[in-house]
C-alpha cells in the first residue's frame, strides 16, 4: 500500500447552522487516483475548498506529508504542492492560452521590480522557459492546442479550455491535483477524450496523486483506483468503484429508500 500523502482527521466545516463537513476522516495515498462521490450537497467541493485554504476549517486537522497545513493560506498550501481546478471555468478568456497556463506558476516566478526592469536577459529567459514548459504540457493534451499558445483562451473549444485549466494546475509540478467535475459542460465524447488525457498525464508524471469529483459514473469506473462516498459531510463508504456501486447505503443516498 502506498504511503499517505494527505491525512484529514475530524475535519469539520460549518456555515452557521449548516454542517457541510462533519468530523470527516480521510486518507489520500501517494500516486492514486481517488474518486470523491456523493449526492449534491454532500460536502465534496467544500472538502476541496477547505483543503486548499479557501475556507478555514471549523475543527479538525489536515496534514500533507506529515505537516499540518490546516492554518495555512491558499498561497502557502499551493507551495506545499496542492493545486486544483474548479467546476466553473476560471479562465481569463481575453488573455492568451500561455498567459492562462503561466498564472498557475506565478509563485515560482520572479516578479520583482528590479528583476523586470534591470535584469532583462534573465526575465527573457524566465519567460522563454515558462513558455516551453507550458507548451509541452499543452502538447501532452493536444498538439493542436500547443500551436495556439498566443491566441486568446476564449477562441478555443470547451474541451481545450478544460485542458488549459488542468495545465495551469500542473505547471507548478504539484504532488496532489484536485479536479472538481472536469467534464462539466462537455459532451460524452469530449469527456472520454479528456479522461484519456488525464490518464496519459498520470503516466508521464510519476507519483502524481489525483482526486476527482465527478458525476459521470463511467468516468469514475474507468480512471479511479479507489472511491470515497460522502453523505451529509461524512464518509459513507470507500472501496473500488464496483464495491461502492453495489453498496446499499450508497444506493439509498443517491436514490432514496425504495
pLDDT of residue 42: 93
Asked whether residue 23 carries a pLDDT value surpassing 80, the answer given is yes
3-state secondary structure of 19: strand
Report the C-alpha gap between 41 and 156 in whole angstroms. Answer: 32
With bands split at pLDDT 50, 70 and 90, how would you rate the model's confidence at 169?
very high
CA atoms within 13 A on the CB side of 100: 31
Lowest mean pLDDT among 15-24, 37-46, 56-65, 117-126: 117-126
Asked whether residue 131 carries a pLDDT value surpassing 60, the answer given is yes
In this structure, how many other beta carbons lie within 10 angstroms of the beta carbon of residue 203? 8
User: Do the beta carbons of residue 176 and residue 5 sit within 8 Å?
Assistant: yes
Alpha-helix residue ranges (DSSP H) falling in the chain: 44-51, 74-79, 97-102, 113-117, 120-141, 143-146, 158-170, 188-204, 217-223, 241-245, 248-255
CATH 3.40.50.300 in the chain: give the residue spans: 1-81+174-258
pLDDT tens track for 26-66: 999 999 999 999 998 999 999 999 999 999 999 999 999 99
Report the C-alpha gap between 68 and 153 in whole angstroms. Answer: 37
User: Do the beta carbons of residue 79 and residue 173 sit within 8 Å?
Assistant: no
Query: What is the radius of gyration, based on Cα positions, of the chain?
Result: 19
What mean pLDDT is predicted for residues 146-158? 96
Percent of the chain with pLDDT over 90: 70
Q: Which CATH class is domain 1-81+174-258?
A: alpha beta
C-alpha closest to that of 229 among 33, 39, 21, 59? 39
What mean pLDDT is predicted for residues 190-209? 90
DSSP-assigned beta bridge partners for residue 150: none
pLDDT of residue 114: 62
pLDDT of residue 185: 84
Asked whether residue 1 carries a pLDDT value surpassing 70, the answer given is no
With bands split at pLDDT 50, 70 and 90, how would you rate the model's confidence at 218?
confident
Amino acid at each position: 500500500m502506498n504511503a499517505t500523502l494527505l491525512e484529514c482527521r475530524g475535519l469539520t466545516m460549518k456555515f452557521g447552522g449548516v454542517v457541510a463537513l462533519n468530523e470527516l476522516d480521510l486518507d489520500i495515498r501517494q500516486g492514486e487516483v481517488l474518486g470523491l462521490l456523493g449526492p449534491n450537497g454532500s460536502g465534496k467541493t467544500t472538502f476541496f475548498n477547505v483543503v486548499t485554504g479557501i475556507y478555514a476549517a471549523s475543527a479538525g486537522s489536515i496534514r500533507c506529508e506529515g505537516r499540518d497545513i490546516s492554518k495555512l493560506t491558499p498561497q502557502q498550501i499551493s507551495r506545499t504542492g496542492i493545486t486544483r481546478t474548479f467546476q466553473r471555468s476560471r479562465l481569463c478568456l481575453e488573455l492568451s492560452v500561455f498567459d492562462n497556463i503561466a498564472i498557475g506558476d506565478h509563485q515560482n516566478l520572479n516578479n520583482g521590480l528590479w528583476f523586470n526592469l534591470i535584469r532583462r536577459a534573465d526575465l527573457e529567459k524566465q519567460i522563454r522557459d515558462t513558455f516551453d514548459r507550458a507548451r509541452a504540457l499543452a502538447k501532452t493534451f493536444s498538439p493542436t492546442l500547443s500551436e495556439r499558445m498566443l491566441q486568446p483562451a476564449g477562441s478555443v473549444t470547451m474541451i481545450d479550455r478544460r485542458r488549459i485549466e488542468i495545465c495551469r494546475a500542473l505547471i507548478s509540478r504539484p504532488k496532489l491535483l484536485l479536479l472538481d467535475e472536469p467534464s462539466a459542460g462537455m459532451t460524452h465524447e469530449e469527456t472520454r477524450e479528456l479522461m484519456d488525457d488525464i490518464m496519459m498525464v498520470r503516466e508521464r508524471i510519476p507519483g502524481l496523486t489525483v482526486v476527482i469529483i465527478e458525476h459521470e459514473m463511467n468516468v469514475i469506473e474507468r480512471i479511479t483506483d479507489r472511491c470515497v462516498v460522502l453523505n451529509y459531510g461524512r464518509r459513507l463508504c470507500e472501496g473500488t468503484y464496483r464495491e461502492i456501486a453495489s453498496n446499499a447505503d450508497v444506493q439509498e443516498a443517491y436514490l432514496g429508500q425504495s
